[in-house]
Amino acid sequence: NVELLVHNAVKYVTLTWNGENELGSGAMCENACGITKFGKEVVSELEKNNIAVDVSHASDKLFYDVVNIAKKPIIATHSNSRAVCKAKRNLTDEQFKIIRDMGGIVGLNFYKGFLNDDENQSSIEDIIRHADHVLNLGGENVLCIGSDLDGADMPDDITGVESVSAIYRRFCDEFGANVTKKVFFDNANMYFTNFDII
């Protein structure tokens, strides 16, 4: 199937959803197994074909197993900071730093349950809190947008893609135009532009 993915210009593959599959264990597994033997083969084959490995939805055990075998920078396409919101799907500071040091990227998720421990209180300001936290971990060239607009419940002040311009303006106010441009375009563009030659 990797050949089929290459033929269809797939750029990254998420290894699991929340449960367990043939590749490994997702973030909501009670007894996470980490990566399977087949999962290791898949990671290797994806990298050989210049397809990035996405660890969003991975259990902590799967995350570290992937880190130990990956030859190329991994990504977390839609995961926030566990230090800001305790959801299992979010990354610990250590995990963020590992992705940073590998040269990967992390996409901010707008899902209300990953923004605030009380999801009913979540808002655009929580996105700013997550961004501020990971930027302070040295994430200026790592952070990007991974909204999850197509499959998750949003805070009340995000009605859909039409809200992205308001989020962009809020980023500019808080972090300045240069950092905002990196987060909203440059970091992800640089990663995927250079992935084939890593």
Rounded Cα distance between 97 and 161, Å, is: 29
Structural contact between residues 22 and 8, judged by C-beta atoms closer than 8 angstroms: no
pLDDT of residue 173: 98
Picking from 61, 69, 118, the residue whose alpha carbon sits closest to that of residue 95 is: 61
Given a contact cutoff of 8 angstroms between Cβ atoms, the answer to whether 178 and 32 are in contact is no
Report d(CA 130, CA 98) in Å as an integer: 17
pTM of the model: 0.96
**What confidence score (pLDDT) does residue 198 get?**
66
pLDDT of the residue at 196: 82
pLDDT at 151 (0 to 100): 82
Per-residue model confidence as pLDDT tens for the chain (198 residues): 999 999 999 999 999 999 999 999 999 999 999 999 999 999 999 999 999 999 999 999 999 999 999 999 999 999 999 999 999 999 999 999 999 999 999 999 999 999 999 999 999 999 999 999 999 999 999 999 999 999 899 999 999 999 999 999 999 999 999 999 999 999 999 999 999 876
For residues 83 and 183, give the distance between their C-alpha atoms in angstroms, rounded to a whole number: 20
26/67 Cα distance (integer angstroms): 15
